């Protein structure tokens, strides 16, 4: 029910921003009906046997994480672009390897995998329950990721900064 209400509110906001007709009663009514209908379908998409992993606390911690992520994206973009234009001084050293995943919910595993892929220079290939296969453009990019900073940031998103769990492999204490 919480998911339904939240989804409905977000969808109606989405409609208002897309439409821009805020004084047209007919379109507002259609927007309300559409949002209700789509929120109903959206809740049915969530299968009941599967945990969904959403929580309000996570939503509140998201903006801080996004800022951190954008900074990481900018840094890694600059790195990859330098390696495109200056191959002699900064050669590429492709690396393929597996890294541990310490998140429990599939939502946070997805966030971690997508953050890996979203920063150019590292791509998450296969995500399993305990680890993720990563291809990196350079050894340094892989070492950065193995250092576990991104893993810690996503885990903090999951459980909150107060009671941060230690990573199961004793990694990430770099």
Partner 1 sequence: MDLLPPLFPDLLLDLLSMALLIGGVFLSISGAVGVIRFPDFYTRLHAAGVTDTLSAGMILAGLMLQAGFTLVTVKLLFILIFLWYTSPVASHALARAAMHTRVEPAEAEVIDADQGDESSAN
Partner 2 sequence: MSHDIVLKVIAKLLIPFILLFALYVQFHGDFGPGGGFQAGVIFAAGIILYALTNGPDAAMRIMPPRLLTPLAALGVLLYGGVGIATVLLGGHFLNYDVLAHDAVHGQHYGILLIELGVGVTVASVMLVIFFAFITQEP
- Closest C-alpha among 124, 154, 163 to residue 62: 154
CB of 127 to partner 1, least distance (A): 8
CB of 99 to partner 2, least distance (A): 15
Give phi and psi for 132, each to the nearest 5: -130, 135
Q: Is 11 in the site for partner 2 (CB under 8 A)?
A: yes
Give the nearest distance from C-beta 47 to partner 1 in angstroms. Answer: 19
Does 56 sit near partner 2 (CB under 8 A)?
Answer: no
**C-alpha distances out from residue 80 to 28, 75, 96, 118, 146, Å:** 46, 9, 17, 13, 18
Element (H or E) spanning 136, and its range? strand 131-136
Contact segment (CB under 8 A) with partner 2 among 27-35, 64-72, 139-147, 163-171 equals 27-35
CB of residue 103 to partner 1, shortest distance in Å: 15
Of 1, 122, 119, 124, which is closest to residue 54 (Cα–Cα)? Answer: 1
What residues make contact with partner 2 under the rule CB under 8 A? Answer: 7, 11, 14-15, 18-19, 21, 26-27, 30-31, 34-35, 37-39, 41-42, 44-47, 106-107, 109-110, 113-114, 124, 127
């Amino acid at each position: 029910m919480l998911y339904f209400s939240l989804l409905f509110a977000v969808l109606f906001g989405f409609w208002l921003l897309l439409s821009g007709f805020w004084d047209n009663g007919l379109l507002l009514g259609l927007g309300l009906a559409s949002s209700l209908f789509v929120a109903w379908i959206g809740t049915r998409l969530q299968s009941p046997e599967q945990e969904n992993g959403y929580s309000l606390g996570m939503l509140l911690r998201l903006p801080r994480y996004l800022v951190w992520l954008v900074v990481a994206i900018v840094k890694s973009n600059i790195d990859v672009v330098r390696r495109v234009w200056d191959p002699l001084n900064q050669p590429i050293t492709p690396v393929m390897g597996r890294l541990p995943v310490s998140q429990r919910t599939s939502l946070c595993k997805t966030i971690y995998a997508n953050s890996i892929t979203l920063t150019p220079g590292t791509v998450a290939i296969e995500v399993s329950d305990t680890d993720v296969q990563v291809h990196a453009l350079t050894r340094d990019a892989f070492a950065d990721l193995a250092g576990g900073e991104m893993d810690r940031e996503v885990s903090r998103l999951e459980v909150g900064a107060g009671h941060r769990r230690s990573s199961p492999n004793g990694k990430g204490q770099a």
